Amino acid sequence: MSLPSVLVVILATIFAAAHMAAAAAADARPSPPLVANLPASAAAQDFVRSRCGESCRMRPKAARECNKLLLPFATSINGSYVGASLAGTTAMISELTAFVRDMRELDRAWPEYKLGGCIRMAEGAVGGAKEQMATLSRFYALGDDKVGEFGLSEVMKWIRVVMTGFQHECSDGGLKNVVDLSKELPRARVVDKYIYVSLHLICFPTPYAMNFLGSPVDNQSKDA
């Protein structure tokens, strides 16, 4: 091989490696932070209201809860479907983490409530959230148009398992044994709404992904 040909091969290899490194760096770059209570434009607020209204159309009270959750982040969300999902899911995980603490305290005081199943379910949901939140954060940084049809498929599977687990182990399980749920575990109703909001923000169809939300979830959910 002649010297010019060798140089061409070397340069091509260098450029290819640089391109791969740049692409990897772009995928790994941290997502912009979700900052609350920044001055928000009318368009940013309208997007949040529209997204909440569409996603939670089966539960008007959940739609109002969605607005309450997301409107403080309207500027950071900035019309991003993934940004809305990230904000809603971040709030849900925070509330679920606090709910685990509440249940553990109540379980120590009243073991006859048999909250073990709900506690394990909630702990598992929180433990499994790290990878899913990383996916949401990555696509939030890259932009909605990079999600593709199946970019959030694992996140969708996870949040549906969380919803089903909460219904089975908590709503229809240990929480039914609590004498006065509104006083002893007031966070339970909030967590239920937050899970519903998070699921529908993630799974409800967007311009970039088809509807992965089957009717059984809506049929099982009750307005609260």
Return the structure tokens found at 138: 């990555």
Spell 120-151 as b/e; 16+ CB within 10 A means b: ebbeebbeebeebbebbbbbbbbebeebeeeb
Please report the sign of the dihedral spanned by the C-alpha atoms of residue 45, residue 57, residue 184, residue 104: negative
Distance CA(23)–CA(202), nearest Å, equals 26
Return the pLDDT at 210. Answer: 54
- pLDDT for the residue 33: 63
Q: What is the pLDDT along the chain (224 residues), one digit of tens a residue?
A: 554 443 333 333 433 443 333 333 334 344 556 777 677 899 999 999 999 999 888 888 889 999 999 999 999 999 999 999 999 999 999 999 999 999 999 999 999 999 999 999 999 999 999 999 999 999 999 988 888 777 888 999 999 999 999 999 999 888 999 999 999 999 999 999 999 999 999 988 677 665 444 433 443 444 44
For the domain 43-220, what is the CATH code? 1.20.140
Contact predicate 138/31, CB 8 Å: yes
Residue 132 is predicted with a pLDDT of 93
CB neighbourhood size of 220 (10 A): 13
Tell me how far apart the alpha carbons of residues 92 and 179 are, in angstroms, rounded to a whole number: 25
